[in-house]
Chain A
């Protein structure tokens, strides 16, 4: 590769504990810029989980962002499969409640390319200097066996990336930031 002269990037800093009134303003008199749920054609699902710290204590001030393909495996956005005026946006932002619990209403994503269906997740919060990146996969998907990202994860840790079905349309996905059962996070 040719030598590349670059500007230094701006470092990340924590979102802090006081983001809600701007970024996820439920309960505040502000109009959100970002949806709190993902709407679209396909099977409506809800993913519920808790964000837990290294002591297993709930993280009550985390913010999660979700990015996914539509039910046919197409992403919104430029050059990503869906036309610019398509109604599907594929992005949502939610905060955890005081008990560390989040809820995402969305549609079950389809497979894009060689990947098994999944939802990309950013975890931000007080104490997180950098956004953490993980993925939600779905238990019972045959394509999980051949997903190129899951293949990079040691078998004994893969379950941290796979949501379990609790009822029809109802999925569970906990995020353990640290310690026993620590969720797999990705660098990319």
Chain B
């Protein structure tokens, strides 16, 4: 049995866990991060959604997400943002700073929210977008060219253009055209395509196929496949060779933009001397009184005991494996912390209900220090902080706040344990 001692143990490698690790390390703490898998970040858009729509008019995009959140938490005290709104802006700057230091620049919109296209041709409001997705010129474009790849079965230019016309306010004279690029492959996955595009000769083959279709003031939209990690490089090469703006749009997983963000953050953590053990599952805990003194973890057949002053729980919700649903109850999988299950009905009748599904809000309740509390509001285990999708009260899919909550709660937890 191997033993480890650390100031801060973080369980989970999603956005919240990585942020918490970055901030705790920034405060000078010794940080160990263990995670069962790669987290759900690789399934996400790669953008940071803070808050999408107006509270009073849920169909209208909100133009000042930070103000909207402050207004919202005044009424909804049990929303995760209510515990972290005070650090929201500094958490955003911290995030932008560490991402850009690691080669992944994030941009803010002219107005509060970007309105960025998806592969379905819908438009999603988001607060921070990687430079390769931040389609600044799109609302004024005279020509939009949507490009797909023969062999890539998850992206269809016609679907994007058909719906973009209905979903985005485009100039009346805007021309939408499509083009299928051919790399001579029958089947391509987003990851192997991204790998191929990092090769200059492949990129130049693309350029020669695109050039005959270029027009004035054109914006090109593509599936998010422009490079695995050297994202900016592939994009810049393409923009330079074509002389027009090129952007990636959000698509179904696997999501390269989400994976790139994860890689950039992991890279940052390594530089900060954070120890990271992936493929490592916490299988037992020792709780004495109101403190967790030790956890038992298992990775590649070996057991490991970890003693930590502070523990940050970032194992996610059902998808990430942090919670498990059984008939009539929900279990938090590591510490069996109390889970708030709000409704008798866990899901709405309509899959695409504008109210969302009650199960989205299931999670652990915390105090302002992000410590888990029971239904009487008493702290359950004092040296644990709970962050991200583990938290109760957010209706992520409808409010469009998932990555924002992860980022702000992760940051605050990292900051709090830095002060311990």
Asked if chains A and B come from one complex, the reply is: no
**Contact surface of B with A, Cβ cutoff 8 Å:** none
